[in-house]
Amino acid sequence: MPESNLINPHGSETLKILLLEGAEKEEELKKAETLPKVELTSREVGDLIMMGIGGFTPLTGFMGHDDWKGVCAEMKMTNGVFWPIPITMSHGEKIDPGTELCLVSGETKEIMGTMKVSECYKIDKEFECKHVFTTADSEHPGVQKVMEQKEYNIAGDVKVLSESTFPEEFKGIYQRPEESRKIFAEKGWKTIAALQLRNPMHRSHEYLAKIAIEVSDGLYIHQLVGKLKPGDIPADVRVNCINTLVENYFVKERVVTGGYPLDMRYAGPREGLLHGVFRQNFGCTHMIIGRDHAGVGNYYGPFDAQDAYHELWDGALECQMLPIDWTFWCYKCGGMVSMKTCPHSKEDRLFLSGTALRKALSEGGEVPAEFSRPEVLSILREYYASLKDDEKVEVKLHGHATGDADTKKKN
């Protein structure tokens, strides 16, 4: 099947690729050395790379004030294109429009790209947090990142010069949209469901994945390889777990694994929508949305992300939602089931979550065999056994991890 028969990128007929290569890249790098340097946070680096590889099509740079405000308040840019989370870059000093900048990673000091400033503006951080995260609570990890931003936002088109360490560090996993699209086209897939992962796959994830395979041509297991909050399992360990699971428990011809370079924002429903946007750019027609998608703590209801998809206006997003109810192991049913298929009581159920799994393993507790495949548990136990005391982080359980939260969908 030719690639032209795949779903269009979001808001565009073609991918907007801003990553320079070859002679063009070398020329821009020389120019970048002469420009004023501005350091980027880890989140901004990930956003820049996604713009570079076309993952954030149709964006051509960091957002200006009107796009920022429209995205926060209405999930819509000034050109009418749907976008759920502002993609912005902050700086401590005011910079005049027309200024050209060299964008540098604050961690590695590597030159990541260049920008021509179109606008420099201040924002109401609390306004952004309340719209994007539905809270301005300083305990929320996404809110913390916004509140830590510097005084000004700088907008402007960018040219991207590096993908950082991701291509080498996650070789065979890290992918550009043009690469995943080529794979899907060669396989002849027409319907592709994306599974978002920031945790190693437990049995609930596996169940969601196999439901998706039953109703689609193929599954794209697409995992975040950027930064997570303290206590989450590192990307390299998760990659190992997922590869092991796919190798042993999936029909390989029906699964493609990939990785993308963003930091987690923990924005719940809004991040679930962003996941749909860039999965469409990677070639996916469907986005799996299950319980507490992209959530953290008790900030969001278990199915708020599904509600967010249902409330989108017609034409906002071509990548459709594949909604799946709360899933768990039922001892009476003798397998993985959901609220739609299991008639038994909570006492007969083992609720599965990445949070509960991390807590049990970090504290050396028992993990029921039904929680995860033995090969995966072996990798995780080895990782937790290697941690020193000062590397361990207390993992707090919340209602969505234990089954104590409201398990019913909203009407």
At 241, which CATH number? 3.40.50.620
Last residue of a domain, one of 109, 142, 162: 162
- Non-local CB neighbours of 275 within 8 Å, separated by 6+ positions: 194, 196, 287, 293, 294
Residues annotated as catalytic (active site), given as ranges: 198-199
Please name the residue that has the structure tokens 């017609």. Answer: 314
Give the model's pLDDT for residue 361. Answer: 82
Pairing state between β 218-224 and 255-260:
parallel
Same domain, 132 and 176: no
DSSP letter (8 states) at residue 199: S
What is the C-alpha separation between 313 and 363, in angstroms, rounded?
Answer: 45
Give the model's pLDDT for residue 227. Answer: 84
Domain carrying residue 382: 165-260+266-411
Structure tokens at 133: 């995260």
The number of angstroms, rounded, from the C-alpha of 208 to the middle of its chain's C-alpha atoms is 17
Per-residue pLDDT of the chain (411 residues; tens, 9 = 90+): 345 689 999 999 999 999 999 999 999 999 999 999 999 999 999 999 999 999 999 999 999 999 999 999 999 999 999 999 999 999 999 999 999 999 999 999 999 999 999 999 999 999 999 999 999 999 999 999 999 999 999 999 999 999 999 999 999 999 999 999 999 999 999 999 999 988 888 898 899 999 999 999 999 999 999 887 777 788 888 889 999 999 999 999 999 999 999 999 999 999 999 999 999 999 999 999 998 999 998 999 999 999 999 999 999 999 999 999 989 999 999 999 999 999 999 999 998 776 777 778 888 778 888 888 999 999 988 988 888 877 665 656 554 445 555 544 433
Same domain, 43 and 182: no
Whether the CB-CB separation of 156 and 119 falls below 8 Å is answered with yes
Measured at the CA of 118, the angle between CA 86 and CA 32, to 5 degrees, comes to: 100
Nearest to 306 by CA among 340, 348, 335, 272: 272
Same domain, 303 and 155: no
Give the model's pLDDT for residue 401. Answer: 47
Give the model's pLDDT for residue 233. Answer: 83
Give the model's pLDDT for residue 178. Answer: 98
Same domain, 298 and 398: yes
Cα end-to-end distance, the chain, whole Å: 40
Amino acid identity, residue 231? G
What is the C-alpha separation between 373 and 228, in angstroms, rounded?
Answer: 24
Give the model's pLDDT for residue 3. Answer: 57
Same domain, 288 and 206: yes
- Helix, strand, or coil here: 105? strand
CA distance readout (Å), 3 to 177, 180, 183? 12, 10, 9
CA distance readout (Å), 373 to 203, 207, 245? 7, 12, 8
Same domain, 74 and 223: no
Last residue of a domain, one of 117, 139, 162: 162
Q: Based on the structure, what is the number of domains in the chain?
A: 2
Same domain, 128 and 157: yes
Give the model's pLDDT for residue 396. Answer: 61
Counting other chains too, the contacts that 398-401 makes at CB distance below 8 Å and 24 or more residues apart are 398/297, 398/298, 398/355, 399/298, 400/291, 400/292, 400/295, 400/298, 400/302, 400/353, 400/355, 401/351, 401/353, 401/354, 401/355, 401/356
Same domain, 326 and 186: yes
Last residue of a domain, one of 162, 193, 223: 162
Nearest to 103 by CA among 154, 63, 165, 58: 154
Give the model's pLDDT for residue 357. Answer: 77
Same domain, 219 and 356: yes
Same domain, 92 and 171: no
Same domain, 118 and 64: yes
At 78, which CATH number? 3.10.400.10
Same domain, 181 and 297: yes
Burial 219-250 (b: 16+ CB within 10 A, else e): bbbbbbbbbbeeebbebebbbbbbebbbeeeb
